[in-house]
């Protein structure tokens, strides 16, 4: 039996989550961290990390643990009696985003099989910036802001999923890294931006899956291809198609043989690109007097189909297109990371439009396969 030693890279953002307990929303920026510490905030992510690592420590698997010094992973590992390989250096007393990115890049260089990180959306963004999709990653939730789909549901699950993946038992899918406009957030307005994607392991049995046991993004890609074929077969050249962000919607463009911005809203018609990466104003101008359909996919770990990562599709745009012309697409692995059967959410900013969208809608999950999900606010 294959017994090549698997390498796990561990990065802890020790200040993630500190803001939450003392009523702050996130710990980005040095001034906020100062404030948090003044308010007596305690570090949350180290404990969460230990919880996750416990699962791995208790297994009889031979896994090489690679981590960064002191509270970026070394301390947490030693607390469990693990003997990690410590790489890199930290210059300052408390760590910053710079350190997270450096650590991630060093992990990539060390050829780890998985980067397990503890933190929040901000940490995820840093990891993503450093490694993109070059190596799989998984988040231990320890931040206040968790809108990204790259986190396990709790620390213990993160440990299990990491272990499963290293044992070759968990497939990968692409999950969104979201980040929120911090200032807006602190003023009680939620406005999430789609930042990028990471390849993240997921639990097989919670999901119906396609074919081949190859533990790769192949599984999810096949689903996306099937969804794309389903949508393309029904396309009508008389309509403009407004394509939202995300990898599943991009698969539709791939099927048509055209390019698409991964993070933005594009418009196509008759199988050809009309315009790319439009904002609300541009969209409204384009839709003037034209029939259009909208294709959306849930973004992030909470299942928002409108209101996070695609705010260009404003209430006006939605009203212009009309509910019956909206198609939602999502792979089952995506839906399972949100919670299979759970409602999808909308937050357009206008309660009337939200209400119009509420109720059950079809979600395309494969070729000639749809499920009914509730859309709720």
Partner 1 sequence: MPVHHYIPNSVPEIKREMLKEIGVKNAEEIFAVIPEGIKCKRRLRLPHSSPEHEVKKAIETILSRNKTCNEVTSFLGAGCWPHYVPAVCDEVNSRSEFLTAYTGEVYSDLGRYQALFEFQSMIGDLVAMDAVSFPLYDWATAASDAGRMALIITGRREILVPRTMSPERLSVIRACCGDSAVIRQVDYNAGSGQLDLEDLEKKISSKTAAVYLENPSYLGFIETAGDDVSDIAHKHGALSIVGVEPLSLGMLTPPGEYGADIVCGEGQPLGMHMSFGGALLGFLAFHDDLKFVSATGHRLVSLAATKREGEFGFAYVLPERTMFAAREKTATITGTASVLWAITAAVYMSLLGPSGLRKLAQVIMQRCYYAAKLLSCIKGLKAPIFSSPHFEEFTVNFGNRKVHDVNSALLKQGIQGGKDLSYEFPELGNSALYCVTEVHAKEDIERLATILDGVVE
Partner 2 sequence: MKAEEAHAYRAVTWNEPIIYALGRKGRQGFAIPEVEKDVKKAAGLALTYVPEKMLRKEIELPELSEPEVVRHFLRLSQETFGVDSGINVGVGTCTMKYNPKINEMLARSSKAIDIHPLQDAECVQGILELMYKLKGWLCEISGMDDLSFQPRGGAHAVFTNACIIKAYHKLINEQEERDEIITTVLSHPCNGGSPAVAGFKIITLYPNPETGIPSIEALKAAVSKHTAGLMITNPYDTGVFDINIEEYVKTIHEVGGLVAIDQANANCVLGRLRIGDSGVDLCHFNLHKTFSTPHGSCGPGSAPILVKEELSQFLPVPTVEFDGHRYYLDYDRPNSIGKVGEFYGVVPNVIRAYAWIMSVGGEGLEEVSETAVVNNNYLIKKLLKIRGVSLPWGELSPLRMHEVRLSLEKMKQDTGIGIEDVNRRIVDFGIQRCFTSHEPWIVKEPFTPEPTEACTKEDLDRFAEVFRQISDEAYANPEMIREAPHNCSISKVDLSPSTDPKKWAMTWRAYVRKHR
Closer to partner 2 by CB, 148 or 365: give it. Answer: 365
Beta bridge partners of residue 175, listed in sequence order: 198
Considering only the C-alpha atoms of the chain, give the largest distance between any 2 of them, rounded to a whole number of Å.
67
Instruction: Select the binding partner of residue 58 from partner 2, partner 1, none (C-beta < 5 to 8 A, by kind).
Output: partner 2
Closer to partner 2 by CB, 22 or 371: give it. Answer: 371
The 137-141 sheet, strands edge to edge: 85-86, 63-67, 6-12, 114-119, 137-141
Q: Provide the minimum distance between the beta carbon of 211 and partner 1 in the complex, in angstroms, as a whole number.
A: 5
Q: Single out the residue of 172, 210, 242, 283 in contact with partner 1 (rule: CB under 8 A).
A: 210
Q: How far apart are CA 218 and CA 211, in angstroms?
A: 9
CB 343 within 8 A of CB 360: no
Concatenated DSSP letters for 149-167? S-B-SSHHHHHHHHHHHHT
Closer to partner 1 by CB, 89 or 212: give it. Answer: 212
Q: Provide the minimum distance between the beta carbon of 99 and partner 2 in the complex, in angstroms, as a whole number.
A: 32
Q: One symbol per residue from 243 to 282: x for binding partner 1 (CB under 8 A), - otherwise; what is it?
A: ----------------------------------------
**CB under 8 Å to 204, separation ≥6 — which residues?**
169, 170, 171
Three-state SS string over 218-267 comes to HHHHHHHHHHHHHHHHCCCCCCEEEECCCHHHHHHHHHHCCCCCCCCCEE
Asked if 110 touches partner 1 (CB under 8 A), the answer is no
Angle between helices 155-166 and 45-58 (to 10 degrees): 40
Q: Single out the residue of 156, 186, 276, 319 in contact with partner 2 (rule: CB under 8 A).
A: 156
CB 226 within 8 A of CB 346: no
Instruction: Select the binding partner of residue 156 from partner 1, partner 2, none (C-beta < 5 to 8 A, by kind).
Output: partner 2
Q: Provide the minimum distance between the beta carbon of 1 and partner 2 in the complex, in angstroms, as a whole number.
A: 5
Q: Single out the residue of 70, 133, 191, 208 in contact with partner 1 (rule: CB under 8 A).
A: 208
Q: Provide the minimum distance between the beta carbon of 324 and partner 1 in the complex, in angstroms, as a whole number.
A: 25
Strand locations in 56-164 (E): 63-67, 85-86, 114-119, 137-141
Q: How far apart are CA 376 and CA 233, in angstroms?
A: 29
Q: One symbol per residue from 34 to 73: x for binding partner 2 (CB under 8 A), - otherwise; what is it?
A: ---------------------x--x---------------
Closer to partner 1 by CB, 156 or 204: give it. Answer: 204
> Which of these segments, 72-80, 106-114, 136-144, 354-362, binds partner 2 (CB under 8 A)?
354-362
CB 240 within 8 A of CB 293: yes
Asked if 209 touches partner 1 (CB under 8 A), the answer is yes
Which residues in the 166-205 window bind partner 1 by CB under 8 A? 204
The site for partner 1 (CB under 8 A) is made up of 1, 204, 208-213, 219, 366, 368-369
List of residues contacting partner 2 (CB under 8 A): 1-2, 55, 58, 156, 160, 168, 205-208, 213-215, 332, 336, 340-342, 359-362, 365, 368-374
């Amino acid at each position: 039996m294959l017994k090549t030693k698997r390498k796990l890279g561990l990065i802890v953002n020790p200040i993630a989550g500190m803001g939450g307990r003392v009523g702050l929303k996130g710990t980005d920026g040095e001034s906020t961290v100062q404030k948090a510490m003044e308010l007596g905030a305690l570090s949350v992510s180290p404990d969460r990390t230990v919880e996750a690592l416990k699962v791995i420590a208790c297994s009889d698997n031979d896994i090489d643990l690679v981590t960064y010094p002191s509270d970026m992973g070394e301390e947490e590992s030693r607390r469990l009696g693990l003997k990690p390989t410590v790489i890199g250096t930290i210059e300052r007393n408390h760590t910053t985003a710079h350190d997270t990115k450096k650590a991630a890049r060093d992990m990539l260089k060390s050829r780890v099989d998985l980067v397990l990180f503890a933190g929040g959306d901000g940490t995820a963004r840093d990891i993503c910036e450093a490694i993109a999709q070059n190596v799989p990653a998984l988040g231990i939730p320890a931040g206040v802001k968790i809108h990204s789909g790259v986190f396990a549901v709790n620390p213990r699950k993160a440990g299990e999923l990491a272990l499963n993946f290293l044992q070759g038992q968990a497939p990968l899918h692409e999950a969104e890294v979201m980040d929120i406009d911090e200032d807006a957030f602190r003023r009680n307005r939620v406005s999430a931006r789609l930042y990028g994607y990471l390849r993240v392991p997921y639990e097989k049995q919670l999901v119906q899956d396609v074919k081949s046991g190859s533990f790769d993004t192949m599984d999810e890609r096949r689903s996306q291809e099937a969804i794309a074929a389903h949508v393309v077969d029904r396309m009508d050249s008389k309509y403009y198609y407004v394509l939202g962000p995300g990898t599943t919607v991009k698969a539709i463009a791939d099927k048509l043989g055209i390019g698409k911005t991964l993070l933005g809203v594009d418009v196509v018609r008759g199988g050809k690109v009309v315009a790319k990466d439009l904002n609300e104003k541009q969209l409204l101008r384009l839709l003037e007097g034209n029939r259009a359909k909208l294709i959306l996919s849930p973004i992030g770990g909470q299942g928002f189909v409108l209101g996070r990562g695609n705010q260009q599709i404003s209430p006006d745009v939605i009203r212009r297109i009309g509910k019956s012309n909206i198609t939602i697409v999502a792979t089952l692995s995506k839906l399972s990371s949100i919670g299979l059967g759970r409602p999808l959410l909308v937050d357009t900013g206008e309660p009337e439009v939200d209400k119009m969208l509420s109720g059950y809608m079809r979600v395309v999950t494969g070729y000639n396969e749809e499920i009914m999900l509730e859309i709720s606010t």
